[in-house]
Amino acid sequence: MVETIREITYGEAIREALHEEMMKDSSVFLIGEDIGAYGGAFKITDGFLKEFGPERVRDTPISEAAIIGAAIGSALMGLRPIAEIMYMDFIPICLEQLANQAAKIRFMSGGKLRVPMVVRTQYSLGRAHGAQHSQFFPSWSLQISGLKVVLPSTPYDAKGLLKTAMRDGNPVLFIECSLLYRTKGYVPEGDYTIPFGQADVKRKGDDVTIVAISRMVQESMAAASALEGEGLSVEVIDPRTIQPLDIDTIVGSVKRTGRLVIAEDDAKTGGVGAEIAATVVEKAFDYMDAPIMRVAAPDIPIPFSPSLEKEYMPSKDKIIQTIASLLGRRRGLA
Amino acid sequence: MSALKEIGRVPPSDYSKHGLAKDRLILMIKKMMEIRLFEEKVEELYLMKGLITGPAHLYFGQEAVAVGVISALNSDDVIISHHRGHGHALARGIPMKQVMAELFGKATGTCKGLGGSMHVAISPERGSLFASAIVGSGIPIAAGVGLAFKYNKSDRVVAVFFGDGAVNTSSFHEGTNMAAIWKLPVILVCENNRYAIGMKVEKAIALGSIVERALGYNIAGIAVDGNDPVAVYLATKEAVERARKGEGPTLIECRTYRQKGHGIYDKAPYRPKEEVEEWLRRDPIANFRNALISSGAATEADLIEIKNQIRLELEDAVNFAQDSPILPFDELQKYVYA
């Protein structure tokens, strides 16, 4: 008998993590817009209202600041709220509560208070949602000490990281990618967690390192496969959490390969990749054989027109081109 | 529709009718005097001695609000304070030493010197949960505290303090609406001290009064003489009862006056002299003292003794704060994450 490996989607993995934690811990509750009666804008929590009731699956008015504020208040009193902000573009509406309150309360109180809460959100780049419903812009969060920031790229990571988030004692921003919701992968049944601050080497390689964030992990894996055919060995690292960031794994890889490409869906200027690049230069300058390159979005708002949006988006092809140009330098072909 | 109500100054002859015995009243005046003398000392330490720096928003003139509200709460109820929070901290029973040490930025302060004046009222073990220095932001957080009480089927309540400036923030709207639709045990205490820094309240709201906002959320609203601790106490008591019964929030507009500037360095030249004088004549402490003496609840001598006792405590508090250590910088990282 061959044991079949269970594959479920990224969306189902998130749903499973929420469901299992809610079954296990009665202090966990969900709060957000259209998560109950409507089933969630992406149907992640479909059926939860019926199963857990309106106290644990709390539909809110369109009040993002109060969603986060209410999550903070209930977390301060010992509950474990999972707040949902429907689109990452709506984070600025509640940024005050998230950045000034949730993240700083522990520090400002001299360590007396803790805010164990999760904010789930997602970005919908690549779905023709226009400039206000598509953007991925996590780099501000790196300036906010006190937050943890998670960006799962696979169903397996999504479930394990969300469980860790729900058991953490701090505010955790959990950023999902809506283009990934239907991607499938191996996910164990039952309980497991993935520690924060531990990057995952998704593919081993010797010639060049790609640090890829969220959706770009898939694009990077595809690029690495394509380049393998041309005799190139590409390592793909997924940091999985950017706060805390496992810089050691990245630096260790770059010291071996001597080349680093960072692939990310956020705008190139001031993005997460800029921070990673600067830190790698500080720690591994003497090992570098080529400039660090970023495959990121251009510095313009996201265009609606689907073909323009496609051009806007970082992709497998752009990664391949970038790596080709880097290696071209080495071979004197550029 | 909800109804609005007004509670004016309570005549001293009615104190016993409201169940306020002598010791209770003495405790109230004591707390008010403690706040006043504390703030006088803080002014001296900032302006004359230069021993403390940073912003300090003093509570002169608003003592009846903190004391009146907190007198109506149980010890396991929760308050949420704001940037003008020294009075809330002392009224809630946080030791003067800890409050003073926080202003000095010392490790023995309520927040180990990491919060400062604007967060000084953070002492969860005494039911003073949090203090936000961002105007209005405590209101949605209070809704969350109320939500937790409801979730746990407890009859505890939360009172959140905010100023007249806060009622124009989106936080006020979102938080109040949320508390209203879910009938959360939240008491919304607006300290209308008539100025948001330099912006006069009449210029900042289109309605005739703040309490009328309650109608828009279909919650109870009480306008109260915010310079009378007994009136504030009665309004809060009513709100607490409503909240404990699961009937939702109450907006209490406490009409009071910021006797000094916005911050310690603000001389507030934008206020008409006559207005200031008029409100100084309605000083909450002077009036309450007279009321207690006239009703026989206290004698002049009792009050002098209380004052002397507070002065001694205050000297101790200053010495304690001055002698206390500062957290080593390299320990700060451990306070960032739980």
- Residue B145's nearest CA partner among B77, B213, B43 is B77
Q: In the block, which residue shows the tokens 């790229």?
A: A153
Q: H or E stretch including B279?
A: helix B273-281
In a domain, B68, yes or no: yes
| A238 occurs within a structural domain | yes
Distance CA A255, CA A259 (A): 8
**A2 in any annotated domain:** no
The helix (run of H) or strand (run of E) holding residue B88 is helix B86-91
Give 3-state DSSP helix, strand, coil % of chain B, rounded to 5.
Answer: 50, 15, 40
Tell me which of A58, A120, A133, A259 is the catalytic residue. Answer: A133
The structure tokens listed for A226 are 């394509």
Residue B337 lies in a domain: no
C-alpha B161/C-alpha B190 separation (Å) is: 6
The verdict on residue A145 lying in a domain is yes
Flag whether pLDDT at B115 surpasses 50.
yes
Predicted local confidence at residue A4, as pLDDT: 77
Q: What is the pLDDT of residues B20-64, one digit of tens each?
A: 999 999 999 999 999 999 999 999 999 988 899 999 999 999 999
pLDDT for the residue B294: 93
Q: How confident is the model at residue B13 (pLDDT cuts 50, 70, 90)?
A: very high
**Angle, vertex CA B189, rays to CA B186 and CA B190, nearest 5:** 140
> What is A139-172 written as a DSSP string?
GGGGG-BTBEEE---SHHHHHHHHHHHHH-SS-E
State pLDDT tens for residues A147-178.
999 999 999 999 999 999 999 999 999 999 99
- Whether A146 and A222 map to the same domain: the answer is no
CATH number at residue A177: 3.40.50.970
Contact A146 B336 (CB under 8 A): yes
Q: Are residues A173 and A62 in the same domain?
A: yes
* Same domain flag for A290 and A223: yes
Contact B314, B40 (CB under 8 A): no
Number of domains in chain B: 1
Do residue B111 and residue A78 have CB atoms under 8 angstroms apart?
Answer: no
> Residue A319: how many CB atoms within 10 A of its CB?
27
Quote the domain boundaries for residue B284: 4-321
Residues A115 and A219 in one domain: no
Q: What is the mean pLDDT of residues B203-218?
A: 96
Residue A54, in any domain of the structure? yes
Same domain, A180 and A230: no
| Peptide bond just before A244 cis, omega within 30 deg | yes
Does one domain contain both A38 and A146?
yes
Distance, CA of A239 to CA of A259 (rounded, Å): 17
Find the CB nearest B144 among A63, A73, A100.
A73
Task: Average the pLDDT over B250-266 and give the result.
Answer: 96
Distance CA B65, CA B255 (A): 9
Residue that has been written with the tokens 């002098």 in this structure: B304
* Same domain (yes/no): A245, A275: yes
Cα B217 from chain centroid?
Answer: 24
Domain containing B303 — which CATH number?
A: 3.40.50.970
Establish if A258 belongs to a structural domain.
yes
For an interface test with A, the pick among B174, B217, B336 (most A C-beta atoms closer than 10 Å) comes out as B174
Contacts of B335 in chain A (CB under 8 A): 106-107, 110-111
Asked whether residue A152 is assigned to any structural domain, the reply reads: yes
pLDDT reported for residue A328: 76
Distance from CA of B203 to the nearest CA of A (A): 26
The shares of helix, strand and coil residues in chain A, as percent rounded to the nearest 5, are: 40, 20, 40
Residue found by looking up tokens 């940073």 in the block:
B54
Residues of chain A scoring pLDDT < 70: 1-3, 329-334
Q: Count Cβ atoms below 10 Å from residue A270 Cβ, excluding itself.
A: 14
Neighbour count for residue B335 (Cβ, 10 Å): 19
Nearest to A153 by CA among A63, A216, A71: A216
**Together in a domain, A28 and A125:** yes
What is the arithmetic mean of pLDDT over B68-75? 98
Judge whether B332 lies within some domain. no
Structure confidence at residue B3 (pLDDT): 81
Domain range spanning residue A311?
200-331
The answer to whether A69 contacts B113, with C-beta atoms less than 8 Å apart, is: no
Which residue in A85, A108, A142, A144 has the most chain B C-beta atoms within 10 A of its own C-beta, making it the best mutation to test that interface? A108
Structure tokens at B219: 């919650």
Q: Per the structure, how many domains does chain A have?
A: 2
- Say if residue A68 is in the same domain as residue A97: yes
**Torsions phi, psi for A241 (to 5 deg):** -125, 135
pLDDT of residue A271: 97
A19 part of the active site: no
The verdict on A69 and A177 lying in the same domain is yes
**Among B78, B145, B338, beta carbon nearest to A114:** B338
Task: Report yes or no: A146 at the B interface, CB cutoff 8 Å.
Answer: yes
What's the mean pLDDT in B57-74? 98
- Angle at the Cα of A192 from the Cα atoms of A73 and A158, rounded to 5 degrees: 70
Cβ(B118)–Cβ(B107) below 8 Å = no
What is the ipTM for the molecules in this complex? 0.97
Residue finishing a domain among A162, A186, A210: A186
Going by C-alpha positions, the residue among A152, A213, A180 that lies closest to residue A17 is A152
Residues A125 and A236 in one domain: no
Contact B335, A107 (CB under 8 A): yes
Question: Model-level pTM?
Answer: 0.97
CATH number, domain with residue A255: 3.40.50.920
Q: What is the pLDDT of residue B191?
A: 98
Q: Which of residues 123-142 of B touch A (CB under 8 A)?
A: 123-124, 129-130, 132, 134, 137, 139-142
Three-state SS for B56? Answer: coil
Query: Do A220 and A172 fall within a single domain?
Result: no
Last residue within a domain, chosen from A134, A156, A186: A186
Within a domain: residue A1? no
If you compute the radius of gyration of chain B from its CA atoms, what whole number of angstroms results?
Answer: 19
Is A191 inside any structural domain?
no
Angle value at C-alpha A84, between A78 and A89, nearest 5 degrees: 135
A25 in contact with B at a CB cutoff of 8 Å? no
A96 contacts chain B (CB < 8 A): yes
A186, A212, A232 - which closes a domain: A186
For tokens 């910021």, the residue is B258
